[in-house]
């Protein structure tokens, strides 16, 4: 995980809801935005709140692990 107050111009990121976010309330989702050097993750209920940033390799490892766990 990368902890930087600003990792590029996050205002220009194109956010999309994760296909793994499923709840009875469609607004409770994880949103993802990709940049060349960082994958950004945020809570859709708090778009101005904190974000997590992962290197692309760490994100790929996480997705592979999630797929393997089913």
Per-residue pLDDT in tens (0 to 9) along the chain, 70 residues: 444 444 456 678 999 987 766 666 666 788 999 999 999 999 988 888 999 999 999 999 999 998 898 7
pLDDT at res. 3 = 45
Model confidence, pTM: 0.71
Report which of 53, 14, 51 is spatially closest to residue 37, judged by C-alpha positions. 53
E runs forming strands in the chain: 16-17, 30-35, 38-43, 52-54
């Amino acid at each position: 995980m990368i902890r930087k107050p600003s990792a590029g111009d996050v205002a220009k990121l194109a956010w999309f809801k994760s296909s793994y976010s499923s709840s009875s309330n469609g607004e409770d989702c994880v949103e993802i935005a990709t940049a060349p050097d960082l994958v950004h993750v945020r809570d859709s209920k708090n778009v101005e709140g904190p974000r997590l940033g992962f290197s692309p390799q760490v994100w790929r490892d996480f997705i592979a692990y999630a797929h393997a766990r089913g």
